[in-house]
Amino acid sequence: MESYTCMSVLYAPTLKEDPVDAEIASHRLLTRGAMIRKVAAGVYSFLPLGSIVLRKIEDIVRDEMNAVGSQEILMPALQPSELWHESGRWDDYGPELMRLSDRHDRGFCLGPTHEELVTSIMRNELRSYRELPKSVFQIQVKFRDEIRPRFGLLRGREFIMKDAYSFHSSQESLQEHYDDMARAYGNICVRCGLEYRPVEADSGQIGGKVTIEFMALADAGEAELVYCDCGFASNTEVAQGKACPTGYLADHQEKIHTPGVSTIAALAAFLNVDESATVKALVGIDENESPYLLFVPGDHEVNEIKISHVVKGFRLADDAELTRFGLVKGYIGPVGIPEGIHCIADESLKSLERWVVGANEPDYHLVGARLGEDFEILEWADLITAQSGDRCPDCGAPLRIARGIEVSQVFQLGEKYSRAMNATYTDESGEDRPFLMGCYGVGVSRTMAAIVEQHNDENGMIWPISVCPGEVIVIPLSVGDATVFPAAETIASELAARGIQTVLDDRDERAGVKFADADLIGWPYQIICGKRGVTEGVAEIKDRATGEKISVPIDEVVAKAIELVIEAHAALGNLIEE
């Protein structure tokens, strides 16, 4: 029979003070609430309570994977370098790949992801189109030597990930499984109690709309997204927001003296116009060291990911290179540019008739420079990072901006790995063809942090019932009392017997300590047994999320608590286990 857990036995060293190195709520509270402990930068241990939560998230993920027909496997974290040489990523992945050698000096890495490994498994024994499609997943530790690990579990160097991979013989089959996975990922977010948005994201080299990121909305998130009520949502890295440059009313091009005005902010202030009236110029260099001049609306930032899709090997030029190209820092414009410099302007500037730009000589700008007369732009592209107020590409309404935590991503890989690693199957006509692949990742430990980011208050964490470290904590306020403690024990054991995950705070602590710990750790329901109440035959049930306390006759407390727990599960779409 199920039993309850005693706080006196549980290893849950809560902290009274905030850890100094924790900047965000999840890091702070997970540490204080005895869920995690830091081992090294970006490396954490999970204590018993954290471990319970982690396992519950994993089980939700596992359940959703099984539901879409993916099969659980377990691959090694330690991977031979040969596989990575085959795919080309030994050289491409960069210093984020944790590399090591064995005693024979053979190269290995600790897997940051498992495309190579899973492809090498499948290519040997998955031979016929008749056996396709196949989908497998694992829940496992991943290693990435991040430039700068930070924010506790949000960006670690070692973290827990669910990664799934699918193999197909047709685009239709891949698309179908990809759609199933995307639905499953939405379910995972809902069941974990996360407010999220599926967003368009960078699809890397492959192009096309073949990836979706699932973002948990949170100010602490490292990613930025723009979204619209019409349902559009996109990572600002790729968002096709439409900027609205305002331009400058002038009949003719006019050269004006602007001494010392070398930034957009200063220029806008000098002319007493909005920054959106100006045009910002940037100088870049491609992989052949050829110079490029880029023009974007003054109130927008350029987006290197987008530019790199237009200009191969793009990087910004430094001051010395600027001078070498004959350009004047702070006063660059499209009129009278030196020979041999290729110009590209952001598409939003196409409709802008009169530009405010640098005059290509020190301390002078041009206002009212006329596109098509005073200068020409031959190439147009989307170069800017979307921002709040830009127009939705789907419906034209102003976009709003939010921050998010990327908790998961689905991706159509196509033949990228199967081709590089010669992983083929035999099709109906007897020909060998590379697999079409998809990969699908969930940051499990990151999801745990994201949940805390969304569910906390000044007293601590507030776990959704689906992922809580225990559904009910029973708190006898005086352990030594001959009526209170036995009453609490009875409640706890009856709850446990009915399948409710129950903790009994049997510590000989003062009421304040127990309340503070219960709120900090964030059990969804607290059953409080005090001397006065028990004598009168009642106990209290406190809802951690709302703070509401209700008084319930002692002989009805168990039934009431079970009712609340079941309701809470139902609200998240999770079925309670018997």
Partner RNA sequence: CGGGAUGUGGCGCAGUUUGGUAGCGCGCUGCGUUCGGGACGCAGAGGCCGCAGGUUCAAAUCCUGUCAUCCCGACCA
Cα–Cα dist 289/345, whole Å: 19
Among 6, 381, 516, 572, binds RNA (CB under 7 A): 516
Reduced to 3 states (helix: H, G, I; strand: E, B; else coil), residue 331 is coil
From candidates 6, 52, 75, 322, binder to RNA by CB under 7 A: 322
Q: Which of 279, 359, 477, 491 binds RNA (CB under 7 A)?
A: 477
- By beta-carbon proximity to RNA, the closer residue of 175 and 478 is 478
Nearer to RNA, 246 or 262 (CB): 262
Q: Is residue 438 a contact partner of residue 257, using CB atoms and an 8 Å limit?
A: no
Scan residues 148-177 and list those touching RNA (CB under 7 A). 148-151
CB 288 to RNA: min, Å: 17
Residue 324 binds to RNA (criterion: CB under 7 A): no
Q: Contact, 538 vs 546, CB < 8 A? A: no
Judged by CB under 7 A, the number of residues near RNA is 62
Say whether residue 504 binds RNA (CB under 7 A): no
Nearest to 30 by CA among 8, 14, 9, 52: 14
* Residue 264 found at the interface with RNA (CB under 7 A): yes
Binding segment for RNA (CB under 7 A), chosen from 48-56, 275-283, 421-429, 435-443, is 275-283
Does 443 engage in binding with RNA (CB under 7 A)?
A: no
Give the list of residues 6+ apart from residue 546 with CB closer than 8 angstroms, or none.
none
Place of tokens 């306020």: 477
Start-to-end C-alpha separation, the chain? 12
- Judge whether 445 and 151 are in contact, CB under 8 Å: no
CB of 575 to RNA, least distance (A): 31
Amino acid identity of residue 578, one-letter, is E
Query: Measured from the CB of residue 354, what is the shortest distance to RNA in angstroms?
Result: 20
Q: Which of 302, 410, 487, 492 binds RNA (CB under 7 A)?
A: 302
Of the ranges 62-70, 174-182, 259-267, 437-445, which one interacts with RNA (CB under 7 A)? 259-267
263 near RNA, rule: CB under 7 A: yes
Nearest residue (CB) to RNA, 322 versus 343: 322
124, 207, 512, 577: which one binds RNA (CB under 7 A) = 512
Whole-number Cα distances in Å, 219 to 26, 388, 450, 452, 502: 12, 15, 10, 12, 33
Stretch of 51-59, 253-261, 321-329, 433-441 contacting RNA, by CB under 7 A: 321-329
Smallest separation (angstroms) from RNA to the CB of 244? 17
Residues 302 and 237: beta-carbon distance below 8 Å: no
Query: Positive or negative, the Cα torsion across 387, 388, 391, 395?
Result: positive
Min separation Cβ 304 and RNA, Å: 5
Question: Which among 1, 13, 50 has a CA at the least distance from the CA of 30?
Answer: 50
CB of 102 to RNA, least distance (A): 22
Q: Is 427 in the site for RNA (CB under 7 A)?
A: no
- Residue 202 touching RNA (CB under 7 A): no
Stretch that binds RNA, among 79-87, 119-127, 145-153, 414-422 (CB under 7 A): 145-153
Please give the C-alpha separations between residue 326 and each of 280, 296, 369, 418, in angstroms, as whole numbers: 18, 20, 21, 48
Residue 318 interacts with RNA (CB under 7 A)?
Answer: yes
Q: Is 510 in the site for RNA (CB under 7 A)?
A: yes
- Least distance CB 542 / RNA (angstroms): 6
User: Which is closer to RNA, CB of 33 or CB of 443?
Assistant: 33
* Residue 114 vs 514, nearer CB to RNA: 514
Q: How many residues does the chain have?
A: 578
Q: Does 286 bind RNA (CB under 7 A)?
A: no
Which positions from 532 through 571 interact with RNA, judged by CB under 7 A?
532-533, 540, 542, 549
Residues 364-393 that bind RNA (CB under 7 A): 385
* Residues 39-98, interacting with RNA (CB under 7 A): 40-42
State the helix-helix crossing angle for 25-32 and 444-454, rounded to 10 degrees.
100
Rounded-to-10 torsion of CA 491, 492, 497, 499 = 110
Q: Are strands 342-346 and 291-297 parallel, antiparallel or unpaired?
A: parallel
Question: Measuring CA to CA, which residue among 296, 294, 316, 305 is closest to residue 238?
Answer: 305
- Point out which span in 110-118, 216-224, 360-368, 473-481 binds RNA (CB under 7 A): 473-481
**Interaction between residue 463 and RNA (CB under 7 A):** no
Instruction: Tell me: does residue 357 bind RNA (CB under 7 A).
Output: no
Between the alpha carbon of residue 444 and those of residues 62, 140, 273, 423, the distances in Å are: 11, 9, 48, 29
d(CA 108, CA 90): 10
Using CB under 7 A, which of the segments 52-60, 123-131, 300-308, 435-443 binds RNA? 300-308
Least Å distance, CB 460 to RNA, is: 7
Separation in Å, CA 356 to CA 278, 280, 346, 387, 470 = 5, 9, 15, 21, 62
Element (H, E) at 512: helix 511-521
Task: Indicate whether 126 belongs to the interface with RNA (CB under 7 A).
Answer: no
Specify the DSSP class assigned to residue 44: E
Binding site for RNA (CB under 7 A): 14-17, 19-21, 23, 32, 38, 40-42, 147-151, 262-264, 280-284, 301-304, 316-319, 321-322, 329-330, 332, 385, 459, 477-478, 480, 510-513, 515-517, 519-520, 528-533, 540, 542, 549
